[in-house]
Structures are given as structure tokens and as C-alpha cells.
Structure 1
Amino acid sequence: MAGHSKWANIQHRKGKQDGIRSKMFSKLSKEITVAAKMGDPDPDKNPRLRLAVKAAKAVSMPKDVIDRAIRKSQMGDASDYSEIRYEGYGAGGIAIIVETMTDNLNRTASNVRSYFTKAGGNLGQTGSVSHSFDRVGEVSYPLSAGSADDVMMAAIEAGADDVETDDEAHWIYCRVEDLATVSDALEGSLGESTESKLVWRPQSRTEVDFDTATKLMKLIDLLEEDDDVQSVTHNFDVPEEVAAKL
């Protein structure tokens, strides 16, 4: 299995710190509404909703905003969102998966395609790159949660499949269908996690040079700015010397 991308984590945390909180809240609210609409509006009875609420709390989304998103799911005029995955290649042939939630398929498809084109990439068919990733559950904890050995033992007891520890955090992986159960079990032994979510985990990563990294970051920025895009996953990593220039 591929190691966790420290670069991706740095970019993720930087995004939180750099003023996109309202956009993040909007995307999380959409996920909460869809999860509640598809299942039970009670998080205790709906694993997907429980994870969505946990993700919202992790970024300090106010309780009234979370409750409002759940209530919206029960209203007759709640938007009908479709979950669509797009796959393609960025500069340097880097594989990219874009997960969207939209109420206008034509708008979203047109936008995503234009972003790939503007950044020197090309959009492929569904399945064109996902074979290079594994769909798994990911639970992250700060290093303060315990030593690598302690977290490993807690993860095994919780039913997880793999654990990685780097100088940023502990990353715990499990099967998709086990995420809610593993997340709850870990919370009992390690406390509240930083995040619990489904991810596309690359089977390998490709290091890129400065020019390629610049084009790829342009593409990721364009995608993440779009309100219909819920997540962007890639399989590249940036060497330290390149990261320093960026």
C-alpha cells in the first residue's frame, strides 16, 4: 500500500487555515443533507450521517448549522443532488479522481472538463484511473493520541487493516463497510479523531518536478474552488526541494 502523502496533508491543512471555511461548511452541509435524506436523520442510526457530522465538528462547524442541514433533508423542497465521480489525467500523466455532488449534471461536467483542459490535463472515462487506487476508510489522529505502537494496537483491536505514522499524524485504514464501526471503536480507545472519511488511496505515488507540480496545483485549486466538487484525490508527491520552491 502507498504511504500517505505528506504534501497532500500540508495542502489540506493550509486550505483550512487560508480562508475557505465558508466553502468548506457549504460542502459539508451538502453531504450532511444528502446523508440524512438517503437514510435516517438520526446520526446514531445512520453511519454515513454520523461520519458527516463528525467531519463537520472536526472543523468547528456550529451545531445550529449542522442541525439546519439535517432538517433541510426532511423538507419536500430539498435539492436533489446526484453524486458523480470524474476521472482524468493531470500534467505529467498524474491520475486524478474528482468526486462531486450536484443538482445540475451538465454544469458540473462542463466545468470539470474545462478545468482539466485549462491546466494541461484531460478528462477520461469513469474507471480510467480508479484502478490505480483502493477505496478505503481513513481515520486520522494527531501524534498526541499516542505512540505508533499504541495506535497500532488500538487500530488492530478496532478492526482496522493498516496504520501509518509520519511526522504529521497517525493514519488508520479499514474496509469501506467497516469505517463507522472502526471509527467508533477508536474513539473509545484514543478519543475523538481528527477526521473519519472514505478516501481513494493511491497504490503508488509519482514524484513530480516544479513545472509539473505547478500545473497540477493549478488544476486542484480550480477543482476545489467549484461548489459542486466534494473532494479531489491524486497520486503525485512533491520532493522537499520542489515543495520549498512552491
Structure 2
Amino acid sequence: MAGHSKWANIQHRKGRQDKARGKLFSKLSKEITIAAKIGGPDPDMNPRLRLAVANAKGQSMPKDNIQRAIDKATGNDVEAYEEIRYEGFGPGGIGIIVEVSTDNRNRAASEVRTAFSKNGGNLGETGAVAFMFDQVGEIRYSEEVADEEAMFEAAIEAGAEDVTYEEGDEDEGEPGERIVYCARDDLAEVAGNLQAALGDAKSVNIIWKPQTLTPVEADKTDSVIKLLEVLDDLDDVQNVYANADFPED
């Protein structure tokens, strides 16, 4: 999955920048607030909030920030967020899914549509792309937690379906990640089993995983990456998924 890894590595490189770090914390805070608003402020009684808090901790988000995000959900001035999925195509016909949490549907739709149209893509109808992806559970651990064999054994015993590896950034001294996939409905159980065996994961999420990857021609690589970056930078956007298979550097 070279393409997926390249996009993920681009996101990680952006994540090392202070501005992007703030953007990441903003997204994590929004998810915590939404989860607490929907299911209550107690992580022990709210699985979505428990997951959001775990992911925030995995990204080294300060405890005070996490608590403020939870407390915000109990205030009278908290925004009423709507969760929307947009689907479209990028340069070369790659499929893209954009998950949005917004307090203004019209603004979000306009910004997502503009991002596609100005960067060589086009926004499609609901269902135009989703059939090319599967919703699955994804659990990420640093490769330093366990070697390939130990991770595979732990994952299978935990009830997972597959384990892959994503290279880190050697230039920055960042280790790679071992990625565990499981059925969406089994995520909580598998994540809990892995936590008992290996400790806290870096992230635990339900994601859109491409069934197959669409090769990106070399001359379209920069255009595709630009579109994905522009979408990811929108304030209302929480997640961006693509089935792009980028050529090796």
C-alpha cells in the first residue's frame, strides 16, 4: 500500500509543524466535544468519548486540553455539529471520501466543493465512491512496541483480521507503525484485548479502507497531494481518505 503510506507520511510530516499540530489538536478537541455532547461526559459510559480521549492522548494532547473539550460539551453555547460525508474524485480518477463535522452545512459544502474544483477534482453524489472502500477498525502501534511476529500473534489472538506495516521517516528518526485491522463492530473488543497485551495504542479509529488502490501517474502526483492537503486543512474536515497508489520516490 505504497500510496496510502505516502499520504500518511505526508500527514505525519505536516504534523510535526507547529501550525499543523494545532490543527490536529483542534480536530481532536472537536471530536471529544461532539462525543461528550452526544453520549455524556463520562468516558467509562461513553464509548465514542473514550475512543476520542484515547486518540488525543496518543497524540500527546495535554490533559487540560482534553478536559476543556469535555467541559465545553456541557455548556449552553456549544455549537450543534452535523456530521456529513462527501465523496468525489481527484486527478486521475482517484476516489476520495471526506468526513466533516460542521455547524454550518452550507459553508462546509461550499468549501469542500471549491477545494475539489480548484485542484483538479470534482465532487460526486453520495455513494459515488464509498462502494470502493470498506469501513473497518484500525488500531495503530509504534513498531517499537512489538516486532512483526509478536504483533501478528497478538492481533490474531485479539480477534483482528490483518496486520500491515507503514514505514516511518528515517530522516526524522520516527519509527514505523504496525497497523491492525478488524471488523468495524469488533473494534472496541479488539482494541481492548490489544491494550491488555501491548499497552495503549497510538490511535484507534473506524476508517474507510480502500478495497483496491488506483495508480497515480507520476505527472499527477503533486496535484493529487495538493488536493488532499487542501481538503485536510479545511476547518470543518475531520478525516480524508483516498484510494491513491502513488509511485515510489
**Contact 2:3–2:246 (CA under 8 A) maintained in structure 1:** no
Which letter maps to 2:226?
K
Deviation, structure 1 residue 146 = 1.4
Q: Compare 206-215 and 97-106 and name the one that shifted more.
A: 206-215
Q: Distance in 2 between matches of 1:234 and 1:5?
A: 8
- Of all paired residues, the percent bearing the same amino acid is 48
- Counterpart of 1:172 (choices 180, 190, 198) is 180
Describe how 1:207-222 pairs up with structure 2 within 5 A. 207-222=215-230
Shift in Å, 1:157: 1.7
Structure 1 runs of 4+ aligned residues shifted over 4 Å read none
| Corresponding residue for residue 42 of structure 2 | 42
Aligned 8 A contact 1:161 1:175 in 2:
yes
Contact 2:82 2:102 in 1 (8 A): yes
Instruction: Check conservation: 1:3, 1:164, Cα contact below 8 A.
Output: no
Long gaps (5+) in structure 1: 242-246
2:97 is matched with which residue? 97
Per the TM alignment, residue 207 of structure 1 is displaced from its structure 2 partner at its CA by 2.2
Classify 1:221/1:61 alpha carbon distance in 2 versus 1 (closer, same or farther; 3 Å).
same
CA contact (8 A) 2:137 2:184 kept: yes
Deviation larger for 25-34 or 173-182: 173-182
Per-residue deviation at 1:162? 1.6
| 1:9-48 correspondence runs (5 A) | 9-19=8-18, 20-48=20-48
Hey, what does 2:69 align to over in structure 1? 69
What is the TM-score when the length of structure 2 is the normalising length? 0.92
Report how far residue 166 of structure 1 moved: 4.6
Measured in 2, the distance between the counterparts of 1:196 and 1:62 equals 18
Look up the equivalent residue of 1:11 and give its one-letter code: I
How high is the TM-score relative to the length of structure 1? 0.93
Instruction: Mark the CA change 1:3 to 1:190 in structure 2 (over 3 Å): closer, same or farther.
Output: farther
Instruction: For structure 2, list consecutive stretches of 5 or more residues without a partner in the other structure.
Output: 168-175
1:244 corresponds in structure 2 to: none
- The reply to whether residue 121 of structure 1 matches residue 129 of structure 2 is no
Partner residue in 2 for 1:142: 142
Aligned residues: 240
* Structure 1 residue identity aligned to 2:5: K
Structure 1 residue 3 displacement after superposition? 7.7
